[in-house]
Amino acid sequence: MDTKPKKSPERVPFYRMIMDDFMLLLFLGTTIYVIFYLLWGVMELSNLPAIPDEIKKSLLK
Amino acid sequence: MSNIIHGDIEYTESPQEQTGFLHRVCDITGFKVDLSSEKLIRANAVAAVVSLLLAVTAAILLVFTRYQPIHLLSAEWYYRLVTFHGLNALIFWIIFFEIAGLYFGSTVILNTRFCAPRLGWISFGLMVLGLIISNYIILIGQADVMLTSYTPLKAHPLYYLGIILFAVGALLGVVLFFGNLMIARRENTYGDSLPLFTYGLMTAAIIAVITLASGALIYIPTFLWSLGLIDNIDPAMYKLIWWGLGHSSQQINVAAMVSIWYMVSFLSVGGTSINEKVSRTAFVLYILFICLASAHHLLTDPGVSSAWKVWNTSYAMYLAVLASMIHAFAVPSSYESAQRRWGYNKGLFEWLSKAPWSNPAFSSTILAIIGFGFIGGTTGVIFGMEQTNIIVHNTIAIPGHFKGTVVIGTTLTFMGITYYLIPLIFRRKIIGMGWARWQPWLFFIGLALLSISMIVLGQLGVPRRHWDSTFSGGPFTYNFNPAVDFFWTLMMLGGSIAFISVIIWIVIVVVSVLWGPKMTGPKDMQLTISPLAPPAKSHKGFEAPGTLVLTFVFLLVFLALFFLNWKWLAATWYVK
């Protein structure tokens, strides 16, 4: 029986595991973009007060 | 394993015969080249060159229209060709070439097979169909809306459909790239991590997914609106989402271009990044933050707050700019480090003076780095700030800036790497190597003149996308600084030189691919493929002192321009 301790497989550093996981990077990149650019921007535009009717009418004349 | 000899190329069945992986072993690089992938790379590269020809044909007509003494086109055709040029240059040329690059980087470089060649052809077919439909609709005058097609400007529904088809095809191409990566990882065809070149392309592919998803988000409702199925598209909302496509698509270019810079360093001098981990981190910063910069285009829009503008236009506090600064140091230092290890150690710049300048891929890359950094990069950061943007917003300085990034940077880089693709992928010798050696210089000089002239004209208040900036016959007139006449002439000269250079490049590519002598082995290779630079014998001080000095020169130029723009801003709006 072999009494030598078995060599454990080389552990991949956590940092490299994240760097090499393109699905995770895709998720993170998309999430940051969607939250900061898209959702934040859409929320600000959606909360703009509507043009008062009299101004709208004068513009559409 | 079975071998088939066909002509002068040896085709080898792979050990995984059940996959039908038929490839040739490149006699120059030693890579296994999947034959189905090679055909797709060729097809996409050819479509890219055709798109570039269409784009520059429109461009030269536009240059001679904006040059007032000639004023070539009518107003109608001017705006038509602005649309045509924008779509072919910024979307079709670039994305076709990038799809070719993605296939190359995910199969040839990784020694693996293409995951689904049939889907690759469907992707290509959709992209070509999109190109034909959109261009046809533009040329018959049904889509004079310019590339941005801001609502309520409305084009023919087929214009939007063409772009959607192209985007779906491109997205499918990107998905296939990820499929190839998965196969390579599963079959363990590369080492522990992706090669840096492919890693950069992976960055480009991720940005492409974000970009194309934004495109779908805005173009599908706009298509329905053009059909009358939706009543209204809010212009502010349209602009916000459209720029998620418009600007981010140019960030795909940045990632792909930087990847090629690293690749050319490896091919031409045997260079590698002096710290791959840092280079990879810079690519990750791109993935995380570069797409936020789409907000640059909304800097004068009153609908979004300053907080939103400052956070997004600073790429989340300049983290993506930091990434570019890292690459700006890492790429030249990879050349310098390798050259020094080859023995070019005298002084600060022997590594540069003894560099392989006769290799057009090398000279293209170095010139692209200079143009991208000194013209596109500096103006990009300055014009992207809320305060200094106001000096040049909607002026011709903006296209001047992106001539520095997309044209001198990306296009020149793509032109340069093509000189390697002709022998390695098309298996032909380059015809006209003498012309090829000075073509990048001509292109750089032409584009630098064009770009700098446009930036100066913009600083002097000349508007962009304007058929007649003299306002002749209009109720209001404006007298520009007389210096504009000089810069218009310079712009026309630069545009003409750049146009001639592109035509030379296209002729070299077409003639070589169609009629060039077939490659019979490494002896036919006209461009160097360098072995890996030897390890350094001893290491003292900085590994790349020349690059460090050049980086400080760049920073000084940037600071000078930065403060100059603030000075101009103060002069524009006098504050008591």
pLDDT tens readout for residues B315-365 = 776 888 899 999 999 999 999 999 999 999 999 999 999 999 999 999 999
Query: Whole domain around residue A38: which residue ranges?
Result: 14-47
Percentage above 90 pLDDT, chain B: 82
Q: Residue B512: is its pLDDT beyond 80?
A: yes
Pairing state of beta strands B22-25 and B32-34? antiparallel
pLDDT attached to residue B575? 63
Q: Is B311 on the interface with A (CB under 8 A)?
A: yes
User: So what's the pLDDT on residue B273?
Assistant: 94
pLDDT bracket for residue B17 (50, 70, 90) = very low
Please report the residues numbered 1 through 60 in chain A whose beta carbons come closer than 8 angstroms to any beta carbon of chain B: 12, 16, 19-20, 22, 25-26, 28-30, 32-33, 36-38, 40-42, 44-45, 48
Burial class (CB in 10 A: 0-12, 13-18, 19+), B122: middle
CA distance A5 to chain B (A): 25
Contact call for A29 and B303, based on CB within 8 A: no
CATH fold of B2-468+481-533+542-570 reads Cytochrome C Oxidase; Chain A (1.20.210)
What integer pLDDT is reported at residue B576 of this predicted model? Answer: 61
Q: How far is B185 from chain A (nearest CA, A)?
A: 11
Asked whether the beta carbons of B226 and B153 are under 8 A apart, the reply is no
DSSP tag of B93? I
What end-to-end distance do the CA atoms of chain A give, in Å? Answer: 96
pLDDT surpasses 80 at B544: yes
* Burial tier of B379 (Cβ tally within 10 Å: 0-12, 13-18, 19+): buried
Torsion of CA B243, B245, B246, B251, to 10 degrees: 110
Q: Residue B380 in contact with residue B561, Cβ under 8 Å?
A: no
**Could A36 and B292 be called an inter-chain contact, meaning their C-beta atoms sit closer than 8 Å?**
yes
Contact B206 A32 (CB under 8 A): no
Tokens 């950061």 found at: B381
Question: What pLDDT, on the 0 to 100 scale, is given for residue B30?
Answer: 87
SS3 assignment for B127-165: HHHHHHHHHHHHHCCCCCCCCCCCCCCCCCHHHHHHHHH
- Report the chain A residue with the minimal C-alpha distance to residue B205: A26
Could you list the beta-strand ranges (E) of B418-521: none
Q: Do A37 and B312 touch (CB under 8 A)?
A: yes
**Whole-angstrom distance, CA of residue B72 vs CA of residue B60:** 10
Which residue in B181, B289, B304 is closest to A22 by CB distance? B181
Chosen from A20, A28, A33 to mutate, greatest number of chain B CBs within 10 A: A33
Residue B162: both structure tokens together: 């063409």
> Smallest Cα–Cα separation from B176: which of B236, B240, B102, B83?
B102
| Of residues B195, B220, B222, the one with CA closest to residue B29 | B195
Residues in chain A with CB shorter than 8 Å from the CB of B280 are: 19
Give the single-character DSSP code of B468: -
Question: Does residue A52 belong to any structural domain of this protein?
Answer: no
Best probe of the A interface among B186, B287, B310, B312, by most A CBs < 10 A, is B287
Helix B433-459 / helix B360-370 crossing angle, nearest 10 deg: 10
What are the chain B neighbours of A44 within 8 Å (beta carbons)?
Answer: 303-305, 308
**B172 in contact with A, Cβ within 8 Å:** no
pLDDT in tens, B43-90: 999 999 999 999 999 999 999 999 999 999 999 999 999 999 999 999
Distance from CA of B169 to the nearest CA of A (A): 19
Query: What pLDDT is attached to residue B20?
Result: 52
Residue B213 has pLDDT above 70, yes or no: yes
Is residue B284 within 8 angstroms of chain A, CB to CB?
yes
Q: Is A61 a member of any domain? A: no
pLDDT of residue A9: 61
Q: Is residue A20 part of a domain?
A: yes
For residue B240, the tally of other CB atoms under 10 A from its CB is 26
Average the pLDDT over each of B112-121, B473-482, B513-522 and give the range with the smallest value. Answer: B473-482
Contacts of A33 in chain B (CB under 8 A): 210, 244, 248, 291-292
Nearest CA in chain A to B301: A45
pLDDT tens, position by position, B225-256: 999 999 999 999 999 999 999 999 999 999 99
Closest CA to B288 of B255, B239, B325: B255
What confidence category does residue B555 fall into, taking pLDDT thresholds of 50, 70 and 90?
Answer: very high
From residue B255, alpha-carbon distances to B133, B159, B405, B413, B554 in Å are 29, 28, 12, 12, 21
**Over the stretch A1-47, which tens digit does the pLDDT of each residue have?**
444 445 556 677 888 888 889 999 999 999 999 999 999 999 999 99
Chain A nearest CA to B312, separation (Å): 7
Least confident segment among B122-136, B336-350, B467-481, B502-516? B467-481
Q: Is residue A8 part of a domain?
A: no
Cα–Cα distance for residue pair B375/B403, rounded to 1 Å: 9
What Rg do the C-alpha atoms of chain B give, in angstroms? 24
3-state DSSP assignment of residue B347: coil
The distance between the two most distant Cα atoms of chain B, rounded to a whole number of Å, is 84
Provide the pLDDT for residue B1.
42
Residue A43: inside a domain: yes
> What percentage of chain B exceeds 70 in pLDDT?
95
Restricting to B residues 226-265, those with a Cβ less than 8 Å away from any Cβ of A are 234, 236-237, 240-241, 244, 248
Of A16, A37, A45, the CB nearest to B237: A45
Kindly determine whether residue B291 and residue A19, on different chains, have CB atoms separated by under 8 Å: no
Choose among A19, A33, A38: nearest Cβ to B284: A19
Chain A closest-CA separation from residue B155 CA (Å): 22
Instruction: Parse chain B into domains and list their residue ranges.
Output: 2-468+481-533+542-570
When scoring B176, B291, B296, B298 by the number of chain A Cβ atoms within 10 A, the one with the most, hence best to mutate, is B291
Q: What's chain B's average pLDDT?
A: 92
Burial label, A35 (beta-carbon count in 10 A; 0-12, 13-18, 19+): exposed
| Nearest C-alpha in A relative to B242 | A38
Q: CA nearest A18 in B: which residue?
A: B284
User: Residue B282 CA to chain centroid, in angstroms?
Assistant: 18
Phi, psi at residue B33, to the nearest 5°? -110, 110
Q: Does the beta-carbon distance from A36 to B312 stay under 8 Å?
A: yes
Is the pLDDT assigned to residue B15 strictly greater than 80?
Answer: no
Per the structure, the count of domains in chain A is: 1
pLDDT at res. B192: 82
Tokens of B379: 């103006």
The answer to whether residue A1 is domain-embedded is no
Cis peptide bond prior to B545, omega within 30° of 0: no
Strand order across the beta sheet in which B22-25 lies:
B3-6, B9-13, B22-25, B32-34
Q: Please tell me the distance from the alpha carbon of residue B554 to that of residue B345, in angstroms, as a whole number.
A: 23
Supply the pLDDT for residue A2: 46
Q: How would DSSP label each residue in B299-312?
A: TT-TTS-HHHHHHH
Q: Do A42 and B303 touch (CB under 8 A)?
A: no
**Environment class of B504 (CB within 10 Å of its CB; exposed 0-12, middle 13-18, buried 19+):** middle
B439, B508 in Cβ contact below 8 A? yes
Candidate from A12-16, B27-31, B147-151, B432-436 with smallest mean pLDDT = A12-16
The structure tokens 């996981």 sit at: A21
B216 touches chain A (CB under 8 A): no
ipTM of the modeled complex: 0.89
Residues of chain A neighbouring B287 (CB-CB closer than 8 A) = 25-26, 28-29
Asked whether residue A36 is domain-assigned, the answer is yes
